[in-house]
Structures are given as C-alpha cells and as structure tokens.
Amino acid sequence: MSLINHCSFEERCGQQGKSFTSNVLILNFKDEHIITLNYVLETPVEVTCIEFHPEDPNVLFGGCINGQLIVWDIKSVDHRITANGRKPEVAKMPDEEEDKTQQVMVKVKELKMSNIDTSHKNYVSDIKFIPAGIKVDKKHKGDINKSEFFISCSEDGFVLIWDSKAVEKNKVIQEELYPSKKSVWQPYILPSAGITR
C-alpha cells in the first residue's frame, strides 16, 4: 500500500521539487483473523506503482509521482532504519516470528533512486518485468532463465526499459563505501537517442 497525499492541483504544484518522507506499507494477510504491518518502506517521493522482482520477492521496484524509479530490498540489514540511527542487530524478520499476534515492523530505506534527468517527466503509471528468455537488444547476452529487465510507462508518453541488475544490493553498498565511484541509475535504453548504455 502506497500512501499519497490527497492534494489539489495548486497544492501539488507547490510541493513539486520539495523532498519529504513518504511511506509504502507492506501488510501481511496470511492469518485471516489478524492483518499485520510487516514493513514500512521510506521514500522521499510518493510512490504511484509497485512491482516485486519475479526472482527475488524481497526486492521491490516503485514508480514515483515525479517520474523517478526507486528500489528497496526488505531483507537488507544495511538499509534498515532504527530509532537510534545505528544499524540494527541481526534479528528475526516479521514473517519468521513464532508468535504471529505480535506486531513486528521493520523500516527500510531505499537502495537507490533513478537519475531524475533521465527518468520520466510525469508520474510512473506502471512497472512490468520482461519475461525470461525475451531479448531486449542484440548485444545483450544475459541469462535467458532470468528476468533482468523491466519496463516503466508514464503519462509523459515514454516507455522506458530498465536493467534491474544495475541496483544489486552489493553494488549499492559498495557505492556507499566509495562515493567517488557512484554510477547513475538510468534507463537501459535512453529514449532521446534510442541507444543502449
């Protein structure tokens, strides 16, 4: 569930360009008598659509109201948020708790956001993974048994193709340790030039 402020057009225009904390909630419906809040995913921009990675259900991709894309890994201890600001100790995740009546909630910050200059120019309306075995371009020799690319579409009239490997957990953590080597997450195929990265 993504929480979005109900704003008029004028209020939305006034908020454009300003960063504020928004949240995506992941609820657990396994027990028919108790609905529990398991994860709160933090985002600096409101999220309009969400898609789970087909091979890794712990990784989520979101499309934002400003056109950017965002990704979270709910199992990443390095991206959990605690009250005291330190990294949490390794603890049981909400779905591993024995007592299902206890409300165990984990806050997670994003792994990465796409570059705003090469992202959509309007809100992202949908994200879908390209099925395994479908080639995106002739040069790419990826694993034909995995879904590596996904498509995002927006009201700006563009359909962008993204490489999900560009935001792997280990690579993002490495970039945080060595900020001078940061890479920009942008579409695999840039729409203006029609060329691949």
Q: Provide the CB-side half-sphere exposure for 149 (13 A, CA).
A: 22
pLDDT at 192: 59
Four-CA torsion 134, 137, 143, 149, nearest 10 degrees: -70
Cβ neighbour number for residue 186 with a 10 Å cutoff: 19
Q: What is the pLDDT of residues 32-68, one digit of tens each?
A: 777 788 888 988 888 999 999 998 889 999 999 889 9
**Domain count along the chain:** 1
> What distance in Å separates the CA atoms of residue 2 and residue 81, rounded to the nearest whole number?
18
* Structural domain contains residue 172: yes
* Structural domain contains residue 1: no
pLDDT at 19: 62
Q: What is the pLDDT of residues 87-111, one digit of tens each?
A: 555 445 555 555 555 556 788 989 8
H-helix segments, the chain: 9-15, 169-177
Cβ neighbour number for residue 112 with a 10 Å cutoff: 21
* Structural domain contains residue 4: no
* Structural domain contains residue 127: yes
Q: Which amino acid is it at 172?
A: V
pLDDT at 79: 81
* Structural domain contains residue 114: yes
E strand intervals along 44-168: 47-52, 59-64, 69-73, 80-81, 106-108, 112-113, 124-129, 149-154, 159-163
Q: What is the mean pLDDT of the chain?
A: 77
pLDDT at 127: 96
Query: Phi and psi (nearest 5°) for 149?
Result: -115, 150
* Structural domain contains residue 15: yes
pLDDT at 71: 94
Q: Are the CB atoms for 94 and 103 separated by under 8 Å?
A: no
What's the whole-number mean pLDDT along residues 24-38?
80
Can you give the residue range of the structural domain that contains 154? 9-196
Radius of gyration of the chain (CA): 18
* Structural domain contains residue 2: no
pLDDT class for 84, splitting at 50, 70, 90? very low
Q: Are the CB atoms for 93 and 100 separated by under 8 Å?
A: no
pLDDT at 176: 60
Q: Is 181 helix (H, G, I), strand (E, B) or coil?
A: helix
Most confident of 12-26, 35-49, 94-108, 177-191: 35-49
What's the whole-number mean pLDDT along residues 15-42?
77
pTM, two decimal places: 0.74
Q: Residue 89 gets which letter from DSSP?
A: P
Q: Is 42 helix (H, G, I), strand (E, B) or coil?
A: strand
Does residue 81 have a pLDDT over 80?
no
Q: What is the pLDDT of residues 115-163, one digit of tens each?
A: 999 999 999 999 999 988 887 877 766 667 788 889 999 989 899 999 8
Q: Where is pLDDT greater, at 93 or 167?
A: 167
* Structural domain contains residue 81: yes
Q: Which residues pair with 152 in a beta bridge?
A: 127, 160
Q: Which residues pair with 196 in a beta bridge?
A: 189
